[in-house]
Structure 1
Amino acid sequence: MINKHSATLMIQGTTSDAGKSLLVAGFCRCLVKKGYKVAPFKPQNMALNSAVTADGKEIGRAQALQAQAANLAPHSDMNPVLLKPSSDTGAQVIIHGEAITDMQAKAYHDYKKVAMQAVLDSHARLTSEYEVIMVEGAGSPAEINLREGDIANMGFAEAVDCPVIIVADIDKGGVFAQLVGTLELLSPSEQNRVVGFVINKFRGDIKLLKSGLDWLEARTNKPVLGVLPYLMDLQLAEEDAIQAQQAIDPDDVRLRIAVPVFSRISNHTDFDMLRNHPQVELIFVRQGSAIPACDLIILPGSKSVRADLKLLKDLNWHTDMAKHLRYGGKLLGICGGYQMLGKSISDPTGVEGEIGTSEGLGYLNIDTVLTPQKQLTQNQGQLLLTAPNNVLADIQGYQIHVGQTIKSTSQPSFAKLDSGEFEGCVSNDNQIAGSYLHGLFDSPCALQQILAWAGAETELLQDYHQQQEAELERLAQACLAHLDWQKIEDFILPQLKQNNQRAQND
């Protein structure tokens, strides 16, 4: 039976990075302000940035942010299918928050019917609890080669019979070609369910755009529902792309941090608070570049740890790291980066690809064995990393990894969790540290303590959740001011009325 309080509205984009994730987050916050009970939903996500739900499941990081925008705790039904690329043609398939297998692209194409049922099951459960389901598409609905069996864009919209808004990024150029071209490549039934357009990231005088908007509406017979301005330095968690821009005062930089970018870097949102810190210069080191002189090198997480360890050595980054340590610099590894710092990484069953053992960097007295079972936990505790300021700092974070790491009892631990577990480890000379905790910089005191360990006294910042709240409010205010909410609610209210009538008839 259809829930009488349910309406679904979908945001699709002309391209990847058109603004779908942010627009869904903005809609969620705006609809909450308008009194709706709303939940975010992305049928299928492909990303290496993920989050752990309270019930120990895994979803895309963007959906966790959208849940925050809706004042909800993240739930696995908000992203029923998550694909985490492990190669150019393969990915780990996560259904309802649990990894089920690795598949090549062709095999997954055949699996889509099963995945679609998982998508519809999750959507049905959400419609039983929430008035409005705000859905985010993936990539573009006009990818001709991906249309057969589509579960991420129009295939889903057709299955649940929901209206679609298409968003385009004007900052990239060619916005009218993007919108008209996308619409033209849709089938007649898909074109009919497109109820309007949103143009994102506009800079300049809106009056100069009006003639183009009038032409677009006349050409497509679809309304432009709003033009969102370019929000300078909007600091919201990215779905997948690494955001490297910083707004810092060079005269007040107290610490320089370098992060080598692996081919399968995961959860790079770990570094958002460092990138936003006014006294930290954060450098993402691209492949082909040497690691520059800095105070701290951080090895990030990786979806393919042994392959990225080989890449690190092939690029001679290990030589740069050795020089860095000789000059007294600090070195920190997170998750896969932590595993790389040890003596060995073994994959006896081919969890991440080829069976075998890789020699680690040898900086920590640990050995890791990759296992099929993924660790998915939220943790909090106390940071044990010692620094000149001798501050005791609470720490919280989450673990997403495969593998069991055995460490020597002679090495200090990085943190003590509330569960009583001693997590991570630190070298005996206090120069090198490693931890499985993602999000370890999100707690203000822990961030300040780690930066002090790396060599600098810095200001105490607000925590990550508060920072994201402020940016979500900024996004929501822009959406409220620049979108036509009377028209948008016209796409929602008739669904609620229609479903109410259906429910009464049932």
Structure 2
Amino acid sequence: MAARAVMVLGTSSGAGKSWLATALCRYYAREGFRVAPFKAQNMSNNARVVATPEGGEGEIGAAQYFQALAAGVEPDVRMNPLLLKPEADTRSQVVLLGRVDPALSALPWRARGAVVWPRVAQALDALRAEHDVVVIEGAGSPAEINLMDSDIVNLRVARHAQARCLLVADIDRGGAFAHLYGTWALLPPEDRARIRGFVLNKFRGDAALLAPAPERLQALTGISTVATVPLLRGHGLPEEDGVFDDRATACGAVRLTVAVVVYPRISNLDEFEPLRAVPGVRLVWARTPADVVGADWIILPGSKATVADLAWLRAQGLDQAVVAHAARGGAVLGICGGLQMLGEAIVDPHGVEAVGQGDAPGLGLLPLVTAFERQKTVRRTRVTCGRVAGPWAALSALTLVGYEIHHGQTVPHPAMVAAGARVHEVVPGLVWQNAAGNVLGCYVHGLFENAAVLRALFGAAVPTLETVFDRLADTVARSFAPGTLDALVAKE
């Protein structure tokens, strides 16, 4: 028997589909069901490396990775068969079942649906055959009438899986009842019938003041508002797009200020979410030189377009700010694309990233050179650090568990090394440090998702993901009308 499908649709992006789907994965897993998450198509530069059914490794969106962990199952590429990784405003790298597909990447947006739908449906069917419940996340809004004819992530999926759907609106933004009614009104009649309840998310205040709006909405649509979910600040689950807001955050009295540079094509920003919960750490999202003033650490994160983001860094004057910070002995950490920026030069002989741009000079803080290769490195990684100096000394002999996603291959710059430049290779081919010890470059994503790293660097522990997942499940259990969640998976 195929699994029952529960689908979370939203009136807009940011309505809270991802976290609600995560909460439902944990809720149903705690009820004893075999649960799997699914999102047909995700557009995000936040990705994780997971298993493929054939025993290899590939990429999926970070949201489905966390949903799988919440469900207590091994993440695999079928849970997010199509991942779009934006490289520019009008261009994305297309990842199909974990691997980059150059032919699909070259196709126009609307032409992809017919090509990929059979693979998407096959992945969903396989998950339904292996589980009791599949929690499906939609994308954006199902009522985007300009996209309905090429939809492969919302209504087409709901029809294929005969999903029982929840429609979620962000009431904190205002206009939630209009969003719910307008979305419902634009759906075809057969798809309206799939909606089993409206959800008001991110609510603050007295729920009694909502009356009589839910009753009037039900009179108009025949659908009841089945949950009013409170606004959860600091719930511990990374937002799908990484940045929660532009406000600096701190947990307790500030002992260390960490500035993470947010360039336009930033990737895997969500890996810094644990820093938000470390006592004494103030986390700043930096877009201008003023944002890094007073920072103890500056972090250059990953990038989906390293050369373009490096040019943006220079246009903002942030390159000079980073170099000056390092010259004063300040700590600088580069991860993946950030590591490549810290080097002496980036070369792209195959036009993988910098089409029409050619080579680019780096920031010159590490005597390294990076060349982009056609083949993308995608793998889970477990390494043990060698000797590390300076502010990172506590990482010495520590085992790091994370993942790699990069086209660039980095080596010491031959001419600079011949001229006497020194660079310390902490982990061969993956982690390097300058002679002074204050600049560290690393290809391993997920550094701060290691509890041992947080203890070593900050002497602190943060809530585990298990704690986060349970809190989310407890919240939805309290927020939904009695019997609603059970009815969504009941046999008919």
TM-score by length of 1: 0.89
Provide, for residues 26-77 of structure 1, a one-character-per-residue CA deviation record: whole Å limited to 9, x for no partner. 1111111111111000000000100010441100000011001100121100
* Gap change, CA 1:342 and 1:171, over 3 Å in 2: same
2:400 to 395, 401, 408: 395
Segments of 5+ residues of structure 2 without an aligned counterpart are none
Mean Cα deviation higher: 433-442 or 94-103: 94-103
Structure 2: distance between partners of 1:139 and 1:33:
28
C-alpha RMSD of matched pairs (Å): 2.0
Which stretch shows the higher mean deviation, 212-221 or 288-297? 288-297
| Alignment-derived partner of residue 14 in structure 1 | 11
Matched, 1:437 2:444: yes
Deviates more, 1:405-414 or 1:207-216: 405-414
Aligned match of 2:335: 334
Q: In structure 1, which of residues 402, 414, 418 is the aligned counterpart of residue 426 of structure 2?
A: 414
Rounded Cα–Cα distance in structure 2 between residues aligned with 1:340 and 1:247: 26
Asked if 1 retains the 8 angstrom alpha-carbon contact of 2:242 and 2:270, the reply is: no
Is 1:367 the counterpart of 2:369? The answer is yes
Q: For residues 76-475 of structure 1, what are the structure 2 equivalents within 5 Å? A: 76-101=77-102, 107-244=108-245, 248=250, 252-287=253-288, 289=290, 291-355=292-356, 356-384=358-386, 385-387=388-390, 392-407=397-412, 410-415=422-427, 421-449=428-456, 451=457, 458-462=458-462, 467-475=464-472
Superposed CA offset, 1:88-109 (max 9, x none): 0110000001111276797121
1:42 partner letter: K
Structure 1 unaligned residues grouped into runs of 5+: 416-420, 452-457, 496-506
Q: Is the 8 A contact 1:334 1:435 kept in 2?
A: yes
Aligned counterparts of 2:234 and 2:179: Cα–Cα separation in 1: 25
Work out the CA distance in 1 between the residues paired with 2:165 and 2:374. 39
Letter in 2 for 1:283: V
Question: Aligned AA for 1:438?
Answer: H
String of CA shifts for 1:160-204, please: whole Å, max 9, x gaps.
332221111111111100100101111112112222111111111
Cα distance in 2, alignment partners of residues 351 and 206 from structure 1: 52
- Say whether residues 1:479 and 2:476 are aligned partners: yes
For the residue of structure 2 that corresponds to 1:253, the secondary structure is: strand
Question: Distance between the aligned counterparts of 2:248 and 2:220, measured in 1?
Answer: 40
Distance 1:248 1:261, change over 3 A: closer
1:248 deviates by: 3.1
Amino acid at match of 2:9: Q
Match of 1:418 in 2: none
1:485 Cα deviation (Å)? 5.3
SS for the counterpart of 2:45 is: coil
| Aligned counterparts of 1:343 and 1:176: Cα–Cα separation in 2 | 54
2-structure distance, mates of 1:237, 1:302: 18
Superposed CA offset, 1:367-418 (max 9, x none): 1111121111111222332247666422211111112111258521233xxx
1:386 & 1:65 partners in 2: Cα distance? 33
Residue 112 of structure 1: how far off its partner (Å): 1.0
Post-superposition CA distance 1:235-271 (Å, at most 9, x none): 1022114125566356x32211111111000000121
Q: Which residue of the other structure, out of 34, 37, 52, is the alignment partner of 1:37?
A: 34
Alignment correspondent of 1:72: 73
Question: What TM-score does the superposition give when structure 2 sets the normalisation length?
Answer: 0.92
Q: Deviation per CA, 1:293-343, whole angstroms, max 9, x where unpaired?
A: 211111110000000011111111111112212322111100000001111
**Whole-angstrom distance in 1 between the partners of 2:442 and 2:335:** 5
TM-aligned CA distance change 1:402 to 1:429, over 3 Å: same
Does structure 1 retain, via aligned residues, the 8 Å contact 2:59–2:99?
yes
Distance 1:433 1:249, change over 3 A: closer
Query: SS of the residue aligned with 1:236?
Result: coil
Contact 1:261 1:287 (C-alpha < 8 Å) held by counterparts: no
